[in-house]
Amino acid sequence: MKNGKVTLLSAGPGALDLLTLRAARVLGEADVLLVDDLANPEIATLAPQARVIAVGKRGGCRSTPQAFIERLMCRFARRGAHVVRVKGGDALMFGRAGEEISALRRAGVPVDIINGVSSAFAAAAGLGMSLTHREHCAGVTFVTAHRQDGSAPNWAALAATGTTLAIYMGLHRVEELSETLLAHLDAATPAGAVQWAGSPQERRMVTSLGRLAADVRAAGFASPTILLVGGAVGEAALAAVEPSAAVGVDVGEAAADVVHDVIARAA
């Protein structure tokens, strides 16, 4: 029997052609696919031999407990399967990869990781802005709106860093978090929101920190939405980039051909 293993694979922000070449190749080799519900479900078409199992747990509704996902990965790998655990965005950003790597190591299951494009990068591309424009900041911070223990991150310190803030899973707390940030940042600080960044359904807006909560509510933004706060976001407001190329709406057909070619080659 061949040796099983687990690959933590980054599905990127949505459009299939934002997968890496390595990811496309490895999908073609998968025996079992465990797919996160933030990943584009069409990714399964790239793994024609694989048994596909959806293991979503969106927005607090934990339909698949984490421990169960970990047991499932170990069980299939021990039977010799190449298990590909597909995660939206980059696998190493906000996706329980740390816990899964630990569980697999404890079980003696080999694990490897294939990187990808995290949603905040796609959000910045959609807005046509650098995340780290050097006239505005020294870097960028990717943060969730709440910690594992339910506490909030240290917004005062985050504001003081002067980095662009890219806030994941923050929409449901946008009133609270923008109010907290307003204690440390000017209301005129540029802010933006991008829903379904990097997918054909992408929606974007640029506003100010003072208006962020009201504006995203009025526009009906829903999860998943990335919020961006900081001087660098002000560059996005100057002009729109070419939306088709930035969000990949019109490359569907071509991308599918390319992907199928990669798969044919890997098979």
* Nearest CB to its own copies, comparing residues 62 and 147: 147
Shortest spacing between CB 214 and its own copies, in angstroms: 25
Candidates 54, 249, 251, 252: give the one binding its own copies (CB under 8 A). 251
Task: Write the DSSP assignment of 45-109 as a string of letters.
Answer: GG-TTSEEEE---GGG--SS-HHHHHHHHHHHHHTT-EEEEEESB-TTSSSSHHHHHHHHHHTT-
In the complex, minimum distance from the CB of residue 53 to its own copies, in angstroms, rounded to a whole number? 22
Asked if 45 touches its own copies (CB under 8 A), the answer is: no
For residues 47 and 262, which CB has a smaller minimum distance to its own copies in the complex?
Answer: 262
Q: Does 249 bind its own copies (CB under 8 A)?
A: no
Given 76, 94, 196, 221, the residue binding its own copies (CB under 8 A): 94
The number of residues that bind its own copies (CB under 8 A) is 88
Q: Applying CB under 8 A, which of residues 58, 79, 105, 217 lies at the interface with its own copies?
A: 105
Among 38, 170, 22, 60, smallest CA distance to 30 is for 22
Measured between alpha carbons, how far is residue 226 from residues 18, 67, 202 in Å?
Answer: 18, 27, 11
Task: Round to whole Å and give the CA distance between 213 and 209.
Answer: 8
Query: Is 257 marked active-site?
Result: no
Choosing from 73, 93, 169, 205, the catalytic residue is 169
Q: How near is the Cβ of 119 to its own copies at its closest, in Å?
A: 10
> Which residue, chain included where needed, has tokens 């070449």?
21
How many whole angstroms separate alpha carbon 32 and alpha carbon 52?
6
Any idea which residues carry the catalytic annotation? Answer: 36, 57, 169
